[in-house]
C-alpha cells in the first residue's frame, strides 16, 4: 500500500505517510483500512506526509471522486499536508477549495511547520 497510517488517540492525531505512486483506488483503500482499524471518521488533527509520493490522477478526477463522499469523511478535521514539490502543492491548494465548510487544510514544506500549525507535539518516530 503506497499510503500507510497510524492513529494516536491521545493526541487525536491521524498520520498518513505516502510513498511512490498513489492512485484514486489507494485513497479508497486507505479510508477502508482506517475504518477497519477503528479510526474515527472525523479526527481532530490529520497530518499527511506526501514528500515521497506522487499522485497518479489529475485534479478533476479527484474532485469528481471526493464530491461523492459524505461530509463526515472530513468534518472537524484540521489537516496539515507536507509536500516538497510545486505540482503537489498546487494540487493540494486546489483540492482544499471544495472541501466542506469548516475543514481547514494547511500545506507545508516542513514537518515542523505542519506540527506547529496543528498545535500538536511531534513524537519521535511519527514520520518513520
Question: What CATH number does residue 68 fall under?
Answer: 3.30.750.24
Share of the chain above pLDDT 70, in %: 94
Q: What is the pLDDT of residues 76-111, one digit of tens each?
A: 579 999 999 998 999 899 888 888 777 889 999 999
Q: Is residue 128 part of a domain?
A: no
127 lies in some domain: no
Q: What is the mean pLDDT of residues 8-22?
A: 95
Q: Is 96 part of a structural domain of the chain?
A: yes
- For residue 25, being part of any structural domain is answered with yes
Q: What is the DSSP string of 97-119?
A: GGSPTT-EEEEESSHHHHHHHHT
As given in the structure block, the three cell numbers for residue 42 are 472525523
Which residues does residue 4 pair with via DSSP β-bridges, in sequence order?
A: 17
Contacts (Cβ under 8 Å, ≥6 apart) of 65: 24, 27
Question: 19: which residues sit within 8 A by CB, 6+ positions away?
Answer: 2, 3, 52, 53
Across 53-84, b (16+ Cβ under 10 Å) vs e yields bebebeeeebeeeeeeeeeeebebbbbbbbbe
Residue 67, domain extent: 3-118
Which CA distances in Å does 4 have to 58, 63, 90, 99, 103? 21, 22, 23, 23, 22
In the chain, the number of structural domains is 1
For residue 64, the model assigns a pLDDT of: 87
Across residues 12-29, what is the average pLDDT?
94
Predicted local distance difference test score (pLDDT) of residue 75: 47
Residue 70 lies in a domain: yes
9 pLDDT exceeds 80? yes
The pTM (predicted TM-score) of the whole model is 0.91
Amino acid at each position: 500500500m503506497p499510503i500507510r497510517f497510524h492513529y494516536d488517540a491521545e493526541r487525536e492525531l491521524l498520520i498518513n505517510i505516502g510513498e511512490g505512486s498513489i492512485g484514486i483506488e489507494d485513497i479508497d483503500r486507505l479510508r477502508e483500512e482506517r475504518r477497519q482499524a477503528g479510526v474515527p471518521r472525523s479526527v481532530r488533527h490529520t497530518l499527511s506526509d506526501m514528500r515521497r509520493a506522487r499522485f497518479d490522477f489529475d485534479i478533476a478526477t479527484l474532485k469528481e471522486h471526493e464530491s461523492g463522499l459524505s461530509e463526515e469523511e472530513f468534518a472537524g478535521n484540521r489537516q496539515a499536508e507536507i509536500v516538497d514539490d510545486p505540482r503537489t502543492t498546487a494540487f493540494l491548494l486546489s483540492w482544499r477549495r471544495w472541501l466542506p465548510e469548516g475543514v481547514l487544510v494547511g500545506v507545508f514544506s516542513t514537518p515542523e511547520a505542519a506540527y506547529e500549525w496543528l498545535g500538536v507535539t511531534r513524537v519521535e518516530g511519527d514520520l518513520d
